């Protein structure tokens, strides 16, 4: 997560949690005039409803209008992380130990940037996947993008 996106998540988290939902993560697709700010929310076993998305969208729209953390025009989308949920934090990996994940690294590790495997561990700022019967570990900070495989 880039510094700007992390700052936006920190800005929005208190308002989202005050509505009784968890801020799962924030992602920005594109930049400038045509970007999308995607805010993922979660609510445990009961899941997220359209009403939850609408309430969060209204609440955070006001914050974004006042604070203006994004230069240029953008479209705000609020949604559930879904079954193939993105993994934004080390705690997300820890929560889904035993699940299959796709991980893309910022820079190659042993000549590869993309890995698909079962999450084995997530601790001390590192993630370990079981990929093709072999454990592969990398620093959490080296992950560019990750999501569960449904």
Domain count, the chain: 2
pLDDT digits (tens, 9 = 90+) for 103-112: 999 999 999 9
Q: Write out the residue range of the structural domain in which residue 99 sits.
A: 90-148
Q: Would strands 35-42 and 74-79 be described as parallel, antiparallel, or unpaired?
A: parallel
56-92: pLDDT as tens digits = 999 999 999 999 888 788 899 999 999 999 999 999 9
Q: What share of the chain is helix, strand, coil (3-state, %, to 5)?
A: 35, 40, 25
Q: Are residues 54 and 105 in the same domain?
A: no
CATH for 9: 3.30.300.70
- Are residues 144 and 100 both part of a single domain? yes
In sequence order, which residues have a C-beta less than 8 Å from that of residue 43 and are 6 or more positions away?
20, 21, 22, 52
Q: Residues 68, 102: one domain?
A: no
Same domain, residue pair 29 and 50: yes
Q: What is the pTM of this model?
A: 0.88
User: Is 14 among the domain residues?
Assistant: yes
């Amino acid at each position: 997560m880039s510094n700007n996106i992390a700052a936006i998540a920190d800005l929005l988290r208190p308002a989202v949690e005050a509505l009784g939902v968890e801020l799962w993560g924030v992602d920005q697709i594109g930049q400038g005039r045509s970007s999308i700010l995607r805010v993922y929310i979660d609510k445990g076993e009961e899941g997220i409803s359209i009403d939850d998305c609408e309430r969060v969208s209204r609440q955070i729209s006001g914050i974004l209008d006042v604070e203006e953390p994004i230069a240029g025009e953008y479209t705000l989308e609020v949604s559930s992380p879904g079954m193939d949920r993105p993994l934004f934090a080390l705690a997300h990996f820890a929560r889904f130990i035993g699940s299959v994940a796709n991980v893309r690294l910022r820079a190659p590790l042993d000549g590869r940037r993309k890995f698909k495997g079962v999450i084995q561990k997530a601790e001390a700022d590192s993630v370990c996947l079981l990929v093709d019967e072999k454990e592969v570990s990398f620093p959490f900070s080296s992950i560019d993008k990750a999501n569960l495989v449904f």
